[in-house]
Amino acid sequence: MSAEDLVTCSIDGIEIAVPKNTLIIRAAEEAGVMIPRFCDHPLLAPVAACRQCLVDVASPAGPEGKLRAFPKPQPACAMTVTPGMVVNTQLTSAAAKTAQEQVAELILINHPLDCPICDKGGECPLQNQAMSTGRSVSRFTEKKNTFPKPLALTAQILLDRERCVLCQRCTRFAAQIPGDPFIALQRRGVNQQIGRFDASVLGVAAVADEAADEAEGDVLAVDGTPFAGYFAGNIIQICPVGALTSAEYRFRARPFDLVSTATVAEHDSTCSAIRVDYRRGQVLRRLAGDDPELNQEWITDKDRFGFHWQTAPDRLRRPLVRRGDDLVEVSWPEGLAAAAEVLGSAKRAAVLPGGRLTLEDAHAYAVFARAVLKTDSIDFRARPSSPEEAQFLAHFAAGAGTGVSLNELAAAPAVLLVGFEAEDEGGIVYLRLREAGTTVYALAPFASRGLARLGGTLLPTLPGAEASALAKLSDAAGPVPEPGASAKGPTSADAVQTLTASAAAALAGGVIVLGERLATSPGAYSAAVAAAERLGAKLVWIPRRAGERAALEAGLLPGLAPGGRALGDLTEAETTMIFGGPLDLEPGLDLPGIVAAVRAGEIDTVLVGGLELVDLPVPPAAATALKGAKVVALQVRGEGISPWADVVLPVAPPQEKAGTFINWEGRLRPFPQVLTSTALSDGKVLQALAAKLGFTLGIGELATVHQVLDRLGPAGRRQPAPAVAPPEAPALGAGEALLSTWHQLVDDAAGLDGEPRLAASAPAPKARLNAATAQGVGARAGDDLQVSTAAGAVTLPVVIDDLPNGVVHLPTKSPGSWVRVALNAANGDVVRIAASSGAKEAQP
Amino acid sequence: MSTLAPLLTSRWGDPQSWTLAAYREAGGYQALAKAFEMEPAAVLNAVKDSGLRGRGGAGFPTGVKWSFLPPPDGGPRYLVVNADESEPGTCKDIPLMMADPHSLIEGVIITSYAIGCHHAFIYLRGEVVHVYRRLLHAVSEARAAGLLGDGVMGTDFKLELTVHAGAGAYICGEETALLDSLEGRRGQPRLKPPFPAVAGLYARPTVVNNVESIASVPWIVANGADWWKSMGTEKSTGVAIYSLSGHVKRPGQYEAPLGITMRRLLELAGGIRDGHELKFWMPGGSSTPMFTAEQLDVPLDYDSVAAAGSMLGTRALQCFDDTVCVVRAVSRWMDFYAHESCGKCTPCREGTFWLRAVLRRIEAGQGKMDDLQILEDIPGSIVGRAFCPLGDGAPSSLTSSLKFFRDEYVQHIDQGRCPYDHTASYLFEAVAA
C-alpha cells in the first residue's frame, strides 16, 4: 500500500497510519485499543445503533487546520479516520468513558440476569463489556420488559427476545451476506424485536390467513415455514448476546467446559475453517473459523450443524466379519486376518475408495491398490462420471497445484458457471461471489434462487447440452456486447445472442467454473477447455465432495499416478519410491467398468471405502455386483455397504484423525485430530492390512506420505486434454422430458444424518418445469408431478419456473426425491413426466 | 410592538379557501409565473438572500440547504416535503394544508424549478386522513389546470407531485427516516453521511423541507428577499406561524414576525383563562425545554430562544396554568417518547422506557427520593448519545421541569400522592364519577 493511501491519525496518543476509509474502531484495534461494541461487525456495514462505542473525536478544520472537537461523542464504528484526527477513547477521555458507561447501563436495564443458564455465559461480549464498562450494581428497579420465549426463527434457530440488545447483526448478516432477509426488526421502542412474519407478534390477525398461503416465488422449508437460506446458522455465532441459540446446542454446555480445536470442515470442497467445541470426548457444536482467504467468518449450515454423522448410532467400533447371513463383531486381529484372507485370495481386485478422503488416506488407497492388490481398477468417483471427465481431471486438475483461488475467483471480471450451482454445490463460493459483487453468468436450465441473488445472468441451456452452449459462447467472442438481461433470462433468440456475445466479451480474463454434473454432459469438458482458450478465460473445477481433489492428486483413477502423472510415465525410481517396487498392471477400469466387470465375474474382489451405494449412478446394479463379489469395506458407519461386505473394518471419521484435505483451489487444508480416539484412519488400516499380506508400506504415516509426495514434486507434463464431440440433442417423445438435477446443499446427505432440525429447515423439494411443459401433461402449480423411468418414479409438487420447454428439474437426493435410486437417472437423461393421479384431492 | 402579520394564514378564512379557484382569486400562482420568468439559480438565490430558516424545528437556512445539492448529473433529484407533523403541541402544517393546500403546491413547484427537481413528494402524517384527501384533491386540481405534469403553465418544465401518507410514526418526521419510509422501508433514521443532499431518496440528491418553509417560498419570490428580511429579526427573518394551545382564552395559529414575545402573543390570544396564572409554557413543542413566566419577554426568534436555554422549534406554544401538575404533564410526554421511540438506538429506546416507568411511579405516589437521581442522570445518558435528534429532544421537558419545579417532584414523593386536582386543569366539564 502506497503512502498516499494511508491516513495518519492519533488514537489515545498513539500515532497510527491506516488505509483510507478505515473506521475509527478498526484503527483503534490496529493501535491495540479495544473499544467496546455490539452492533459493529467487521464484515457488515456499520449501523451505529447500539451507541456502545462512543469516543471523543477532534479533527483539524479551517485554513489553519486547528483541531476542532466534535461537540458530542461519536460512534467509532461508523466514522472513518481522517488525516490528523485525534481520537480519545474510554482510556484517555473521561467524556468517552462516561458516555460508554451510560450506554452500558441502558443496554443492561432490560437484559435478564440469566447468565447462569445462558448458552452465551462465559463467551459473551455483553457479559465482558458489562464487566469492563457497566455498573457493578444496577440502579434499575422497574419491571423488565419480557417476551414469551423462545421464538423459533427456523427449526434450528431459536430467539430469546428479552436477551436481544437489538444490534441488528443478525438482520444485517441475513440481508447483506447471503441475501436471505428472512428476519427483520418489528414493532418499535422497547417493544422492538427481531422476528419473521408472525401475525400474533405483529398484531395483524386479519391478514394472517392470506399470508399463510404460499406467495408465488416463495420458497418454503420442509417444515412449511419460509426457507431461511443455507447460512442462517451464522447469526447464532455473531449474536453478541445469548439471544440467538441453536436448538441443537441450547442448554447443553457451558463455554468454559468446552475444548476448542481449529480444524477444517469435511462437507464440501472449499474445506472451510471451522472450530470444533467438545466436552468429555463429545462434540457439542461447530463454529465458523476465521480464514480471510476462504470462508472469512461464515460457514454453511451443513458445515455448522452436520457433525452427528460421525457419532451416529450405526458408527462402527469393531471389525465385522460375515458368518453366514450375519455380520459379527470380532477383534481387530481377527478382522484384519479375515480381510487379509479375502484380499490375499483375490484373483482380480478393484478399489472404490469414495470421494471423501484426505490426501494421506487417498495415497494409501492408491499405493495399496497397485502394490498390494496389483490392480489399476480404481475410481474415487462415487457418482455419475465419464471417461471424458477422468481425462479432463488428469489433464487439468491433478498435480496442477493451486490454480484459481477463491479470492481470485471473487475478484475476476466475470465468472461463468457451467454445470455448477454456486449456492447448492459451492456454499461459500456463492457467499464470496455475492459479497464481491462479481459479474456472474450461468449455463443452466433456469435461473436458480442462488443465481438470482448473485445478480447473475442466465444463458439458458438444456441439461446435457453444455458442450454446444460453450461452443456457441466461444464463437460469439468478438462482437461488441449489449447490456445483459436480468437473471430471469431472455425471451427472444436475439436476446440470447446478444447475451451470449456480452458474456463472451466479459469472460476475457474471467473464470469458467465447471461442476460435477458435467460428467454426464458429453463433450462439456472438451468444449470448456477449448472455450477457455478462445475466450482468454481461466478454468476451475469445483467438485462437491471434500476428498475429490486429494483423490486426484493421489492418483485414484485408472492410469493415474500421484502428482498428475500417468502411471506409465513414472521412472523406475519413482515407481519404487511410491509403490515400494516395480509395477506390472493390466489397464484399469473406472467405476462403470468395475461394476460391469464384477457382474460379469471378471473381478471377484472389491475393496470399498466410505461411499453410499445410493449415490452411484445405478445403485441396484452396484448392489447386485457387490453382492456377488468378495467385499472388504473400510467404513465409519455400518449402513450402506455393510450388507454386501464380507469384512468391514471401522475407520476414523475426520474429527478422530489428523489429515489433509485438498480443497478445489488445490490448497492443502491440514487439520488436527480433534478427539482422542482409538479409531484408525483408512491409511493406518491399509498399512496394517498390507503388513498382514507381507508388504511394508509407509502409507499410514502422515510424514512419510508427504515425504513421498514432496520428493515427487509436480508433474513435468500435463496429460492430454479430452476431445469429445457434443452429442445430438435427444429427441423427446410425448410425455418425455430432459432431467435437470443437482444436490441441494441441505438434503438427505449421509453427512447430515442425525440432524432433524436442519433437515426441517431445508427447502422443500419441488419438481420445476415451465408452464407449457406442465400444461402438456395436464399439471398445474401445486399439483403432484410423477417423474419416472423404467426403474421407478419420483412424485413431487409442481413449481412453475422459467425452464426451457421439455425440461424437468428435481433435487438429486432430497426427501422423496432420491433420483439415483428411484430413477437410476442422471442430469441430462430422458425421463417420463405425468400429472399424478389426483392423490391430493382424494384425501379428505 | 409586534403585531400579527398574516401571510401564510391570510387566506384561511376565505370561503372554500382550499380550492384552486379561491386560491387564484386571492392571487395564488402569480409567484410561480414570476419564478418562471427567472433563472432557477435566481430563484434559489432569492430564497437564500431572504434568510428564510427551516420551519420544521432545526432552523437551518432553507436556501443554503438547497445549495448543498451537487451539480446536476442528468439523473433525478427530488424535493420531499416533510408534512409528518407529529410533535405534541405542533399544529401549523396540518391547518395550513387543510385550509390552503395550493400555497404548498405553489411552493413545491417553485422550489422544484429552483433545484431542478421533476418529481416532488409530500410525506404526510398518516393519521390526518382529512388532510390527505384535501391534498390529493388539490393536486388533481393543479394537474387538471396544467400546474403539474408535462409543461407546467405552458413552460417546458415538468413536475410530478406525489402525496404519500405515512403510517403514523413520530420518527418519520426525522428526514432520513422519512426517506426510508417513503422508499417503502422501515422508518428508522439513516447513518449520515451521506446526507440527503448527496444521497437521499433512492440514493439521489434530495432536499427535505418543512411544509411551512415551502409555503413561504411563493411569498419570498413574489415580494423579494428584501421585503421578507424587513420582517422579523436580523438572523430570523420573515414571519412564522405561532400555535398557541392549552389554557389560553383563544388558542390557535397566530402568524407574526419572528421575534414577537410570548407576552404579546398571550395578549393577542386573550391571555390565560380567567382566574388562573401561567405556570409554564413550551416554546417549540414538547421536545424543547419549558419556560415559565420569567421568559415571557424573550423574543421568539431562533437565537434569542436558544440563548434563553430552549429552542424555537416549531413555535408550538403550549400554555399550562397553575392547575397543572408538572409531573403529570412530563409523564404524559415521556409516555409519548417511549411509545414513539423507533427503537434503533439504545439510549432513546431504553432511556425513555426507564424514565416513563419512574415518572409513572412518582405520579402514582410510589416514588422514592433515589428516583430523582435517575430523573437527573438518565436524560444525560440519552442527550448526545442517541442516534438522531429526536432522541436528544425526548427528555427536554423533564430536565427543564426539574430545573423549575423540582419541589413538585419532591412533594409527590413525600406525600405519596399527586397534590393536584387534575379535574381543575380540564378545559372541558369534568364528568362526576
What is the model's pLDDT at position A640? 65
The helix (run of H) or strand (run of E) holding residue B209 is strand B206-210
What is the model's pLDDT at position A287? 98
Work out whether strand A511-515 and strand B119-124 pair parallel, antiparallel, or are unpaired. Answer: unpaired
Chain A positions touching B342 (Cβ under 8 A) are 188-189, 192
What is the model's pLDDT at position A26? 98
In angstroms, rounded to a whole number, what is the distance separating the alpha carbons of residues A80 and A97? 20
What is the model's pLDDT at position B3? 81
What is the model's pLDDT at position B431? 59
Kindly indicate the confidence band of residue A476, based on its pLDDT and cuts at 50, 70 and 90.
confident
Structural class in CATH, domain A312-380+548-560+588-712: alpha beta
Q: Above 70 in pLDDT, residue A301?
A: yes
* A/B interface, count of CB pairs below 8 Å: 97
Encode pLDDT of A527-586 as tens digits. 999 999 999 999 999 999 999 999 999 999 999 999 889 999 999 999 999 999 999 999
Work out whether strand A736-742 and strand A767-769 pair parallel, antiparallel, or are unpaired. Answer: unpaired
- CATH code, A736-835: 2.40.40.20
Encode pLDDT of B39-86 as tens digits. 999 999 999 999 999 999 999 999 999 999 999 999 999 999 999 999
Q: Above 90 in pLDDT, residue A471?
A: yes
Mean of the pLDDT values across residues A427-436? 97
Counts of helices then strands in chain A (DSSP H, E): 27, 35
User: How close B126 gets to chain A, by Cα (Å)?
Assistant: 17
What is the model's pLDDT at position A480? 42
Work out whether strand A415-418 and strand A440-444 pair parallel, antiparallel, or are unpaired. Answer: parallel
Encode pLDDT of A774-812 as tens digits. 999 999 999 999 999 999 999 999 999 999 999 999 999
Short-list B382, B304, B372, B377, CA closest to B337: B382
Short-list A325, A306, A173, CA closest to A248: A306
Kindly indicate the confidence band of residue A713, based on its pLDDT and cuts at 50, 70 and 90.
confident
User: A256 CB contacts (<8 Å, ≥6 apart)?
Assistant: A122, A123
Mean of the pLDDT values across residues A85-113? 97
User: A710 CB contacts (<8 Å, ≥6 apart)?
Assistant: none
What is the model's pLDDT at position B2? 63
User: A10 CB contacts (<8 Å, ≥6 apart)?
Assistant: A16, A85, A86, A87
Chain B positions touching A197 (Cβ under 8 A) are none
Chain B positions touching A135 (Cβ under 8 A) are none
3-state secondary structure of A4: helix
pTM: 0.95
Cell of B151: 409543461
Kindly indicate the confidence band of residue A507, based on its pLDDT and cuts at 50, 70 and 90.
very high
Encode pLDDT of A312-332 as tens digits. 999 999 999 999 889 999 999
ipTM exceeding 0.85, yes/no: yes
Structural class in CATH, domain A141-307: alpha beta
Structural class in CATH, domain A3-109: alpha beta
Is the CB of residue A647 less than 8 Å from the CB of residue A633? yes
**Residue A790 identity (one-letter amino acid):** A
User: pLDDT (tens digit, 0 to 9) for every residue of chain B, 433 residues total?
Assistant: 468 889 999 999 999 999 999 999 999 999 999 999 999 999 999 999 999 999 999 999 999 999 999 999 999 999 999 999 999 999 999 999 999 999 999 999 999 999 999 999 999 999 999 999 999 999 999 999 999 999 999 999 999 999 999 998 999 999 999 999 999 999 999 999 999 999 999 999 999 999 999 999 999 999 999 999 999 999 999 999 999 999 999 999 999 999 999 999 999 999 999 999 999 999 999 999 999 999 999 999 999 999 999 999 999 999 999 999 999 999 999 999 999 999 999 999 999 999 999 999 999 999 999 999 999 999 999 999 999 999 999 999 999 999 999 999 999 999 999 999 999 999 876 555 4
What is the model's pLDDT at position A708? 87
Short-list A419, A407, A434, A423, CA closest to A179: A434
Encode pLDDT of A740-770 as tens digits. 999 999 999 999 999 999 999 999 999 999 9
Chain B positions touching A110 (Cβ under 8 A) are 350, 353
- The reply to whether residue B385 touches residue A51, judged by beta carbons under 8 angstroms, is yes
CATH for A394-483+490-542, options being 3.40.50.300, 3.30.465.10, 3.10.20.520, 3.40.228.10: 3.40.228.10
> Which of A99, A106, A188 lies at the smallest CB-CB distance from B343?
A188
Is B360's Cβ below 8 Å from some Cβ in A? Answer: no
User: How close A109 gets to chain B, by Cα (Å)?
Assistant: 7
**Residue A11 identity (one-letter amino acid):** I
Listed by start position, the domains of chain A span 3-109, 141-307, 312-380+548-560+588-712, 394-483+490-542, 736-835
Chain A positions touching B168 (Cβ under 8 A) are none
Mutate to test the interface with A, among B170, B181, B350, B371 (most CBs of A within 10 A): B350
Kindly indicate the confidence band of residue A843, based on its pLDDT and cuts at 50, 70 and 90.
very low
